């Protein structure tokens, strides 16, 4: 069963409650947190996540694009995240382990994220302890970019590692996922698809969510 995680980066931030209701037939709400340092853009943070938590029971998938996320993961858990993902490039391996452990200690799911230039092997130190691995299919920082089909061999390589070593782990892709690219991602082995512009620009959002399930 393929899960769809619409990214609210493409929602109207002045009408977030309304725009989250529009995606209630999806599986996760994908929340992109950017600090202007790890990525060249600034989005939303802890107070906004707290407000979102108050208006929805949906599963909140929080993608941290911030430097040294270990400093903040507990606060994101307390603010209402169900899953917190951290980039392997954003800190040392030791601190990434600490971040994952801190998320688990809060009773939440933890995941790691790989930027396009980061190889599949980067998941190995964390593979047995995470609930989700996210492979970026654009350079993180902005919605509406072109899908990088050349990431598919990496998705397939990580799918193989997951099946061998941690079959319960989910495999998510993020960036440029749309009706013309979703099947490629599913065939490569992804089971959770993030989509921002493809969902929020659709005239019929529930129909688009069905379409993205492949």
By rule CB under 6 A, what string of x and - marks binding of each residue 148-187 to ligand DX5?
--------------------------xxxx----------
CA distance 171 to 5: 12
CA distance 61 to 111: 10
Segment lying near ligand DX5 (by CB under 6 A), choices 70-78, 85-93, 140-148, 206-214 = 140-148
Q: Does 138 bind ligand DX5 (CB under 6 A)?
A: yes
Is 32 catalytic? The answer is yes
Count, residues near Zn ion per rule CB under 5 A: 3
H-state helical runs in the chain: 16-21, 46-55, 73-78, 93-105, 152-165, 182-188, 197-200, 205-212
Using CB distances below 5 to 8 A depending on partner kind, what does residue 176 bind out of Zn ion, ligand DX5, none? ligand DX5
Q: Quote the least distance from Cβ 133 to ligand DX5, whole Å.
A: 14
Residues forming a β-bridge with 172: 134, 192
Q: Does 141 bind ligand DX5 (CB under 6 A)?
A: yes
Q: Does 40 bind ligand DX5 (CB under 6 A)?
A: no
How open is the CA angle 15-20-25, to the nearest 5 degrees? 150
Q: Report the SS3 class of residue 63.
A: strand
Instruction: Looking at residues 41 to 70 of the shown chain, list those that interact with Zn ion (rule: CB under 5 A).
Output: 63
CA distance 147 to 84: 23
How open is the CA angle 82-53-16, to the nearest 5 degrees? 120
Is 19 catalytic? The answer is no
Q: Could you list the active site residues?
A: 32, 174
> Where on the chain is the footprint of ligand DX5 (CB under 6 A)?
7, 9-10, 30, 32, 63, 138, 140-145, 174-177, 194-198
């Amino acid at each position: 069963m393929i899960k769809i995680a619409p990214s609210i980066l493409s929602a109207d931030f002045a009408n977030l409650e309304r725009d989250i209701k529009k995606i209630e037939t999806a599986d996760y709400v994908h929340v992109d947190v950017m600090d202007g340092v790890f990525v060249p853009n600034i989005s939303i943070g802890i107070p906004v996540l707290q407000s979102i938590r108050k208006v929805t029971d949906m599963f909140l998938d929080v993608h941290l694009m911030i430097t040294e996320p270990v400093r903040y993961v507990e606060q994101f858990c307390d603010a209402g995240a169900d899953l917190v993902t951290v980039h392997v490039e954003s800190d040392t391996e030791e601190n990434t382990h600490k971040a994952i452990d801190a998320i688990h200690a809060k009773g939440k799911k933890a995941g790691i994220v790989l930027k396009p230039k980061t190889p599949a092997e980067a998941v190995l130190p964390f593979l047995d302890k995470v609930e989700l691995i996210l492979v970026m299919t654009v350079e993180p920082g902005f919605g509406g970019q072109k899908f990088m089909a050349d990431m598919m061999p990496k998705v397939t390589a990580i799918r193989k590692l997951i099946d061998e070593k941690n079959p319960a782990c989910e495999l998510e892709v993020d960036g440029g996922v749309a009706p013309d690219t979703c099947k490629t991602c599913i065939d490569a082995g992804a089971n959770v698809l993030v989509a921002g512009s493809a969902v929020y620009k659709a005239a019929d959002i529930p129909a688009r969510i069905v379409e993205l399930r492949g």
